């Protein structure tokens, strides 16, 4: 019946409301007479006349647009308008009763009836609004199962009971001893019966209150529920919750990184340096640079110099480090330098003033499509920036210099990859020709994509899913190497302790992953379905856009077939010495001249002629 009323036309709803108000008017007249006569009154001619006079409220309410209000959303403004309408009506009604003397109608009816009429109108509208709102909430209520019949599960239940948007169906747990018990009246069901529970109660969401679950169990749960269109959220590490009390916003959808099993070894166990060293990080505000800065802080340095040419990024990492220093009572001076590595004179001032022992060069423009559209800026920043830092490392006899490179430097098919390959050759040339007796230890570390970096496909997919899609994938068969930022940076730092002799370190990144697989997995992690020809009722569509200019179907980490392991199983090296290295200084000089002339085509040509960029 309620659904029938909700679905009828707006005009019919207004007519029903008018009928209800007329009935309320009739009722209020009878109550007024009963009160006045001090008995249950039987309608006579006077009462009928009083009722007819009461219908004056109709034109008043129509004039005040009271019947245009939607009953489901009755609020203070609507109630005030009804009060105003009843006030006008009561003045007119009382005047009629008072001045048109009818013996059968006591004059007090002109006061009593409007008051009762107002009370009935307000009661009816608030009641209808409450019923309709509750019905809407009930229809949209999220059915939840809590995974974990424990203290955290009980706390979660208490929070859900305070929120009318949710309805708890049951607890589930792996412990058979807890089956058929209950927590606060809610049954505990064994995990093996989860399918029956889902099918019977139309479960929408599962909250997992077991923060200690390993990646295998998380994968098992995600695989179990991802095809059932059920959103699964996991409680974050309880130690990161200051109050120790669980709230619903402590539950998060898993990131794709949570399903990857890669053990990270604490680099501090292998890192042998004296405390109080000076570190300089270029590109410190970027994804890799900022994580480098945070992990280097764990080595108890005396000074960390943050160099970046983006004000906001520099501001953010500076604040993060200063907060960590304060929180952990560290004695480290954080220096922020808003500069470009292209300005060698300004960088020379920094080197001269602080004389860093360790330099990590992470500054680079790395987004392939943007670099292709901004060739001059990209080559100036990536090539000349690296050349400048390498020159200053020699000039000031820096102890350790590490270049952060990329898998796109292997047989480059785009400008970004070509600039990184030239950067590698600049460092290799210095290692070969610079008198290494002066003590500089060079490292070049190459790796693939990192999860959650700025501009990462993971971040792009996440935004696209949150916006309702579509998710854009270049090619169904495109693959990329992935690892977490923290692991990549951990291994970069460890690589500084391994002598390279000009070789290029390559991080072990496991097997390449299909981008299409990641897109599908992320959509399902959000509790959504992929929309396709086979399932047109799905939530998020995947669109294949085709490879952009310079993009590869499959990335490579090294150019020859052999990799040699180092003392660290996750760090290998590749011997990639090119004849072009002998000419690298001449090439850089030519690039500088062409940049000054703004000659994009000339730059492309020299990169192709020197077999740095594939044509």
pLDDT tens per residue, range 93-151: 778 777 776 666 777 777 888 888 888 888 888 887 777 766 665 666 788 888 888 88
How does DSSP classify residue 554? B
Tell whether the model's pLDDT for residue 315 goes beyond 90: yes
pLDDT computed for residue 84 by the predictor: 85
Phi, psi of 257 (to 5 degrees): -65, -25
The packing angle between helices 45-54 and 109-140, to 10°, is 60
pLDDT computed for residue 136 by the predictor: 61
Cβ-contact 222, 228 below 8 angstroms: no
Q: Which residues of 142-179 are buried (b: 16+ CB within 10 A; e: fewer)?
A: ebbbbbbbbebbbbbbebbeeeeebbbbbbbbeeeebb
Query: Which pLDDT band, with edges at 50, 70 and 90, does 258 fall under?
Result: low
SS3 451: strand
Burial of 291 (0-12, 13-18, 19+ CB in 10 A): buried
Residues comprising the chain, all counted: 615
Burial of 102 (0-12, 13-18, 19+ CB in 10 A): middle
Please write the tens of the pLDDT for every residue from 392-409: 999 998 999 999 998 888
For 128-204, strand residue ranges (E) read 142-147, 166-173, 182-183, 186-190
Strand-strand pairing, 186-190 and 564-565: unpaired
Please, what's the largest Cα pairwise distance for the chain? Answer: 123
pLDDT computed for residue 23 by the predictor: 83
pLDDT computed for residue 31 by the predictor: 82
Neighbours of 240 (CB within 10 A): 8
Q: What residues pair up with 187 in beta bridges, in sequence order? A: 182
Q: Mean pLDDT: which of 217-226, 352-361, 426-435 is highest?
A: 352-361
pLDDT computed for residue 430 by the predictor: 83
Tell whether the model's pLDDT for residue 389 goes beyond 80: yes
Query: Which pLDDT band, with edges at 50, 70 and 90, does 536 fall under?
Result: confident
pLDDT computed for residue 272 by the predictor: 62
Tell whether the model's pLDDT for residue 66 goes beyond 60: yes
Q: Mean pLDDT: which of 116-130, 216-230, 257-271 is highest?
A: 116-130
Looking at the domain covering 141-254, what would its CATH class be?
A: alpha beta
Q: What residues pair up with 530 in beta bridges, in sequence order? A: 540
More confident residue, 214 or 160: 160
CA distance 360 to 478: 31
SS3 276: coil
Cβ-contact 246, 235 below 8 angstroms: yes
Query: Which pLDDT band, with edges at 50, 70 and 90, does 557 fall under?
Result: low
CA–CA distances in Å: residue 5 to residues 9, 74, 120, 133: 9, 17, 21, 14
CA distance 188 to 206: 14
Tell whether the model's pLDDT for residue 558 goes beyond 70: no
How does DSSP classify residue 473? E
Q: Mean pLDDT: which of 324-328, 383-387, 436-440 is highest?
A: 383-387
Query: Which pLDDT band, with edges at 50, 70 and 90, does 187 fall under?
Result: confident
pLDDT computed for residue 135 by the predictor: 61
Q: Which residue in this structure is represented by tokens 């109550």?
A: 31
Query: Which pLDDT band, with edges at 50, 70 and 90, does 487 fall under?
Result: confident
More confident residue, 278 or 226: 278
DSSP assignment string, 333-402: EEEEEE--TT-HHHHHHHHHHH--SEEEE------HHHHHH-HHHHHIIIIIHHHHHHHHHHHTT-SEEE
The dihedral region occupied by 217, where left means phi > 0, alpha psi between -120 and 50, and beta the remainder, is alpha
Query: Which pLDDT band, with edges at 50, 70 and 90, does 231 fall under?
Result: confident
Query: Which pLDDT band, with edges at 50, 70 and 90, does 264 fall under?
Result: low
**Across 318-332, average pLDDT:** 90
User: Quick one: how many helices (H) and strands (E) in the chain?
Assistant: 21, 23
Q: Calculate ∠ Cα 253-257-259, nearest 5°.
A: 80
How does DSSP classify residue 288? H
Please name the residues in contact with 119: beta carbons below 8 A apart, sequence gap of 6 or more.
Answer: none
Task: Specify the domain boundaries for CATH 3.40.50.720 within the chain.
Answer: 141-254, 268-450+483-509+569-609
Query: Which pLDDT band, with edges at 50, 70 and 90, does 356 fall under?
Result: very high
pLDDT computed for residue 550 by the predictor: 60
Positive or negative, the Cα torsion across 188, 190, 194, 199? negative
Query: Which pLDDT band, with edges at 50, 70 and 90, does 582 fall under?
Result: confident
Name the percent of the chain lying above pLDDT 90.
19
CA–CA distances in Å: residue 575 to residues 72, 94, 309, 431, 559: 73, 103, 33, 14, 9
Cβ-contact 490, 265 below 8 angstroms: yes
Q: What residues pair up with 401 in beta bridges, in sequence order? A: 359, 442
- The domain 268-450+483-509+569-609 belongs to what CATH superfamily? NAD(P)-binding Rossmann-like Domain (3.40.50.720)
Cβ-contact 540, 521 below 8 angstroms: no
Helix (H) or strand (E) holding 205: strand 205-208
CA distance 507 to 406: 10
């Amino acid at each position: 019946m309620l659904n029938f009323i909700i679905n009828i036309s707006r005009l019919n709803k207004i007519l029903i409301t008018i009928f209800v108000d007329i009935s309320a008017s009739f009722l209020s007249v009878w109550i007024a007479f009963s009160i006045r006569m001090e008995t249950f009154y039987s309608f006579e001619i006077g009462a009928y006349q009083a009722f007819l006079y009461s219908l004056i409220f109709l034109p008043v309410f129509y004039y005040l647009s009271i019947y245009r209000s939607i009953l489901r959303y009755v609020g203070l403004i609507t109630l005030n308008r009804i009060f105003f309408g009843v006030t006008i009506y009561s003045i007119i009604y009382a005047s009629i009763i008072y001045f048109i003397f009818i013996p059968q109608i006591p004059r007090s009816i002109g006061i009593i009836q409007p008051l009762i009429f107002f009370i009935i109108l307000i009661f009816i509208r608030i009641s209808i609004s409450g019923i309709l709102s509750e019905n809407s909430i009930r229809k949209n209520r999220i059915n939840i199962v809590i995974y974990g019949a424990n203290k955290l599960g009980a706390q979660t239940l208490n929070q859900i009971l305070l929120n009318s948007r949710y309805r708890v169906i049951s607890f589930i747990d792996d412990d058979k001893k807890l089956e058929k018990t209950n927590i606060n009246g809610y049954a505990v069901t064994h995990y093996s019966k989860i399918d029956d529970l889902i099918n019977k109660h139309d479960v929408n969401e599962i909250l997992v209150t077991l923060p200690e679950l390993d990646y295998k169990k998380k994968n098992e749960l995600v695989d179990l529920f991802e095809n059932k269109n059920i959103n699964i959220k996991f409680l974050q590490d309880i130690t990161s919750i200051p109050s120790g009390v669980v709230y619903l916003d402590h539950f998060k959808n898993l990131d794709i990184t949570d399903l990857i099993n890669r053990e990270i070894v604490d680099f501090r166990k292998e890192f042998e340096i004296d405390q109080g060293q000076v570190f300089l990080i270029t590109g410190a505000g970027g994804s890799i640079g900022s994580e480098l800065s945070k992990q280097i802080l764990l080595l108890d340095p005396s000074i960390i110099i943050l160099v970046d040419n983006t004000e906001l990024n520099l501001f953010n990492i500076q604040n993060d480090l200063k907060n960590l220093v304060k929180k952990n009572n560290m004695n480290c001076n954080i220096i922020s330098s808003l500069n470009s590595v292209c300005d060698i004179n300004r960088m020379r001032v920094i080197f001269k003033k602080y004389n860093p022992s360790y330099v990590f060069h992470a500054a680079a423009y790395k987004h392939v499509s943007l670099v292709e559209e901004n060739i001059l800026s990209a080559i100036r920043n990536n090539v000349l920036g690296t050349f400048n830092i390498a020159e200053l490392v020699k000039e000031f006899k820096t102890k350790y210099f590490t270049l952060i490179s990329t898998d796109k430097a292997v047989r480059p098919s785009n400008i970004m990859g070509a600039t990184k390959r030239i950067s590698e050759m600049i460092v290799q040339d210095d290692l070969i020709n610079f008198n290494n007796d002066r003590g500089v230890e060079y490292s070049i570390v190459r790796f693939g994509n990192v999860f959650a970096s700025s501009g990462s496909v993971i971040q792009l997919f996440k935004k696209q899913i949150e916006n309702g899609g579509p998710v854009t994938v270049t090619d169904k068969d495109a693959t990329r190497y992935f690892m977490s930022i923290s692991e990549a940076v951990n291994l970069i730092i460890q690589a500084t302790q391994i002598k390279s002799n000009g070789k290029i370190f390559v991080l072990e990144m496991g097997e390449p992953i299909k981008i299409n697989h990641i897109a599908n997995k992320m959509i399902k992690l959000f509790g959504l379905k992929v929309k396709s020809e086979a399932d047109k009722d799905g939530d998020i569509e995947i669109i294949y856009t085709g490879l952009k200019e310079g993009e590869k179907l499959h990335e490579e980490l090294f150019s020859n077939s052999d990799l040699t392991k180092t003392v660290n199983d996750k760090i290998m090296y590749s011997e990639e010495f090119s004849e072009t290295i002998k000419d690298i200084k001449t090439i850089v000089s030519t690039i500088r001249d062409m940049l000054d002339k703004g000659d994009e085509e000339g730059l492309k040509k020299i990169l192709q002629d020197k077999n740095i960029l594939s044509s």
